[in-house]
Structure 1
Amino acid sequence: MSDAVVDSNVSERCCGGSGERLAHSDVRHGFLLDGFPRTVPQARELTAVLGATGSALDAVLEFTAPEDVVVARLLGRGRPDDSEDVIRCRQQVYAQQAAPLLAHYAAILLTVRAVGPVEDITERPWRLCRRWNAGPGDRAPGQSPR
């Protein structure tokens, strides 16, 4: 699917094209987009749609884990197309394609270590977001929200 089709589809479904979806009560206090945007042009489109409504992203979450951990998890799914070589290749492609997007969002990027018990991994983004939302005045000098 081309970026233009994805941009149009996401703009329409997530934001109502003109941003009217953002006025609904269920997103008044925020929303989460999973897996979008995937490219810098999509990120720019999202910024434009949000900007048209006076909104902006507060933070972008990146979940990280060592490649061997990711490979083991994906092999554990038991899918026939999930061989170790295929998974490692997908990881390399992802890293190459994600690098420009992560750089684009560097100022609002929060990295979540996705290793350990599910309960811990689930709590980490909430903790990061609470610290991020506390603002620089509520952090010790030089303390990063990460």
Structure 2
Amino acid sequence: MRIILLGPPGAGKGTQSERIVARFGIPQLSTGDMLRAAVAAGTPVGLEAKAVMEAGGLVSDAIVVGIVADRIEEPDAKRGFILDGFPRTVEQAKALDAMLAEKGIALSTVVELKVDEDALVGRIANRAAETAAKGLPVRKDDTPEVFRSRLEAYRAQTAPLSEYYAKAGKLETVDGMQQIDTVTGSLMGILERHAETAGA
């Protein structure tokens, strides 16, 4: 089962990914982790990424897709995977589709956690206040101002993916504002259906 989880920062993708990993035994693939692993392993695409990063450049979509392509060939990803943080743009989604098609595999589904952005900002503000009240340092990206800018970046770059995958007939949505366990229940209902179809 090959899944993409969509949703803005703070929507709960990390928590839900952990539960999907536990339930289906498929790895959660984070592009950041994969990039670091490829660089450390000195793979051809990892060396290419290292050269770009050392020169202060941004790793291209082609390099990231190459790293994903290598990673999904590993034994633990044979039964499927969850993509986390990729694709971020429609261009990346198209490149991912082309790469998967070359391998003769397809995405099972794309699930978007739908959330109320104002409520999310409120959650972050509360979390920052609670952390500060305990005398603990507040993460830089846990301030409402920084969080709002992250949401704006998501809206501009990543939100168009919803329409892209909806047109492809791949998109399903879950209300991410429900209780965490309720979100998990809704999500698992969708994924169990796809697992049965895939014969997993």
Give the TM-score taking structure 2 as reference length.
0.55
- Which residue of the partner structure matches residue 165 of structure 2? 105
Q: CA deviation at 1:92?
A: 3.0
Q: CA deviation at 1:89?
A: 3.6
Instruction: Select the residue among 100, 106, 130 that pairs with 1:56.
Output: 106
- 1:1-146 to 2 correspondence within 5 Å? 2=58, 5-16=59-70, 21-75=71-125, 76-77=127-128, 78-106=138-166, 107-132=169-194
Whichever residue aligns with residue 122 of structure 2, its letter is A
Q: Gapped runs of 5+ residues in structure 2?
A: 1-56, 129-137
Partner SS, residue 32 of structure 1: strand
Higher relative contact order (CA 8 A, sep 6+): 2
Whichever residue aligns with residue 34 of structure 1, its letter is D
> Structure 2 CA distance, aligned partners of 1:61 and 1:22?
20
> Structure 2 CA distance, aligned partners of 1:111 and 1:35?
17
Q: Figure out how many residues of one structure are paired with residues of the other and give that number.
A: 129
After superposition, the C-alpha distances for 1:13-49 in whole angstroms (9 at most, x for unaligned) are: 3221xxxx43443222211101100111111111111
Q: CA deviation at 1:111?
A: 1.1
Give the TM-score taking structure 1 as reference length.
0.72
Q: Quickly say closer, same or farther: Cα 1:74–1:61, change in 2 above 3 A.
A: same
After superposition, the C-alpha distances for 1:60-89 in whole angstroms (9 at most, x for unaligned) are: 121121112211232315324543243234
Q: Gapped runs of 5+ residues in structure 1?
A: 136-146
> Structure 2 CA distance, aligned partners of 1:23 and 1:80?
36
Partner SS, residue 187 of structure 2: helix
Contact 2:140-2:146 at 8 Å conserved across structures? no
Whichever residue aligns with residue 159 of structure 2, its letter is A
> Structure 2 CA distance, aligned partners of 1:94 and 1:80?
18
Partner SS, residue 82 of structure 2: coil
Runs of 4+ in 1 over 3 A off after TM superposition: 21-25, 80-83, 131-135
